[in-house]
Amino acid sequence: MNDPYASKPWLKFYDKHVPAKINYPNMSYPEMYRQNFPKFKDMVAIYYAGKAISFPELESMSNQFANFLIKQGLKPGDVVGVNLPNVPAYYIAILGTLKAGCVLSGVSPLLTQRELEYQLNNSGAKVLVAIDLLWGNVGAVIAKTGVKAVAMVGIADFLPADKPAAPGALPSVPGIAINHFLGILKEMPDTDPKVKISPDAPALMQYTGGTTGPSKGALLTHKNMVDHITQLVVWLDYKMGKDVILSAFPLFHQAGLGTSMWSMAFGQTQIAVANPRDLAGLINLAKTYKPTAFCNVPTIYIELGKQPAFKELDFSNVKYFLSGAAPFPPEYIKDFEVIVGAGKVCEGLGMTETSPLTLVEPCYGKKKPGSVGLPFPNVEVKVIDPVTKEIVPIGESGEFVAKGPQVFTLGYHNMPEETANTLKDGWIYTGDVVRMDEDGYFWVVDRLKDMVNVSGYKVFTRELDDIISEHPSVAMAATIGVPDPKRPGSQMVATAVVLKPGVEKSEATRTSILDFIREREAAYKVPKRIEFMDQLPLSAVGKILKRELRDIMIPKA
């Protein structure tokens, strides 16, 4: 059949300021930053714990860190791991690593020792930026990796104080040079090394996946990031140096890292959030610094919306609330926008391999609650049958396939087979099951790996989750497939439910939920099991971890 997506019906719903195509600059990320720096050099770059760090200070400290890497013998293309929460040293390390021509790799502080050792060895990291609070994990594995130097960040570094705390004693590991991060900044020259970097050189090695095997290091080039930042600046009608953003995304996550890189390159003030689960802290930051934009996972917005202090804030100057990394149920969007203002939530769809976004709702124009929006300019998309690989008609569900300047081209580090399975002729096979409506708006139906096969019928669990979440007693729901004990080799549908406060975990509640589903869905989609849980397993950014939910529920099947 003809490709119904080639006509790009979404173009007619672009905001007036967004063209169908964008001209992208051919430069590295540090070149983009240097080109713009004079335009915002008098502004605040980061607010952290009541302290303001200016762009000139960030510029100076990032140059010092870049010169430290060069002194350690690192060359363009060498990997620097950063194992920190969202503290000022992370922002400095991002910019300094890229100025030195090195490749930045975010290392989650939540990794186990085994995972940490794997990632450091797989990435080939030569320098690690670590925080003293988490040295127990790092110290247990660092000697078994190729790391040659550590920049140690103190938990009290950059905190405002009349008398800065004296740095603690550094640990000793044979063969590894360990330095205080603040000591590095004092000792190194603050001149920009201006290392020559090709736009096509790798900038980031961000780890992702791991549901069916070891996690993969997705390589993103400077061009990927520069082009994606250009898309965001155009799409969000960004004016240089005019915004303050509050993002609780960890910087080791591509959404957090991408937001930070965009902010530093275009003079956007960032509010550093060291603990994204501290709702009172987030509300206080919003009250103090009056952000003009928010960027968070839906669970953060949902939980903030329950807080009386959040409802009392003035949101008149907030242009948008970007939401991603997990589904935002439409009924919760409506409730949230009653508080913050109609039409302010912009959902998007992305993944690490796409820098991260490929789709996002218009900044000013028509929004459809529950939709993840429209493709960016210069992005081609298809929706295909996951079995036949044929393009499906508009309105039908299939795998989302995309091609554009933000899609990674270098693939996964040292994983040619994984790269070949994901990247074909420049098209990325995302594993997301979506449908497109007649206006060109996309809707996530499920992940391919989360789809349940019930006696040959496809059950999209995301769809069920949204429906169950509409029940007045349900706070959160997650559906998976579990082995059917009555049909060996087949699956049945099972749902874990977190009830709203005050709702009893009873058979009557379970029956009410099942009746609610039966009224709305075919019989084969109705869960055979509903388990009440106090909480669902969540990632660092608040995304439901269905793989962990399977570990919890499948042994009971």
pLDDT digits (tens, 9 = 90+) for 482-505: 888 776 666 899 999 999 999 999
Whether the pLDDT of residue 257 is over 70: the answer is: yes
Give the Cα separation of 57 and 419 in Å (integer): 40
Q: Tell whether the model's pLDDT for residue 333 goes beyond 90.
A: yes
Candidate from 108-122, 390-404, 447-461 with smallest mean pLDDT = 447-461
**Cβ atoms within 10 Å, residue 292:** 16
pLDDT tens sequence across 179-203: 999 999 999 999 999 999 999 999 9
Nearest to 254 by CA among 447, 541, 27: 541
Q: What is the pTM assigned to this prediction?
A: 0.87
For 190-228, letters b (16+ CB in 10 Å) and e give bebeebebebebbbbbbbebeeeeebbbbbbbbbbbbbb
162 has pLDDT over 80: no
Residue range 7-26: mean pLDDT, rounded: 97
Say if residue 386's pLDDT is above 90. Answer: no
Q: Among 92-106, 155-169, 274-288, 494-508, which is the least confidently predicted range?
A: 155-169
Least trusted range by pLDDT, from 155-169, 235-249, 325-339: 155-169
Domain definitions of the chain by residue range:
54-197, 451-556
Task: Read off the pLDDT of residues 517-554 as tens digits, 9 standing for 90 and up.
Answer: 999 888 889 999 999 999 999 887 777 888 889 889 88
Structure tokens at 138: 């790092």
pLDDT at 283 over 80: yes
298-322 residue pLDDT tens: 889 999 999 999 999 999 999 999 9
Question: 378 or 454: whose pLDDT is higher?
Answer: 378
Tell me, what amino acid is at 369? P
Q: Do domains 54-197 and 451-556 have the same CATH topology?
A: no
> If pLDDT is split at 50, 70 and 90, which confidence band does 474 have?
very high
pLDDT of residue 366: 96
Q: Is 82 exposed, middle or buried (0-12, 13-18, 19+ CB in 10 A)?
A: buried
pLDDT at 211 (0 to 100):
44
Q: Please state, rounded to an integer, the average pLDDT across all residues of the chain.
A: 93
% of residues, the chain, pLDDT over 90:
81
Judge whether residue 165 has pLDDT over 80: no
Instruction: Give the architecture-level CATH label for domain 54-197.
Output: 3-Layer(aba) Sandwich (3.40)
Residue in this structure with the two tokens 């993103």, named with its chain if needed: 220
- For the segment 250-272, the average pLDDT, to the nearest whole number, is 97
Tell me if the bond preceding 527 is cis, omega within 30° of 0: no
Rounded average pLDDT over 191-216 = 88
Does domain 451-556 match CATH 3.30.300.30? yes
pLDDT at 164: 64
Q: List Cα–Cα distances, 240 to 42, 203, 233, 351, 380, in angstroms.
A: 12, 23, 9, 26, 28
pLDDT bracket for residue 557 (50, 70, 90): very low
Give bridge partners of residue 443 from the DSSP assignment. 435
Helix (H, G, I), strand (E, B) or coil at 48: strand
Give the span between the Cα atoms of 413 and 394, in whole angstroms: 35
Is residue 285 predicted with pLDDT exceeding 60?
A: yes
Residue type, 330: P
Residue 13 is given by DSSP the state G
Q: What is the pLDDT of residue 547?
A: 82
Calpha distance 520→518 (Å, rounded): 5
3-state secondary structure of 507: helix
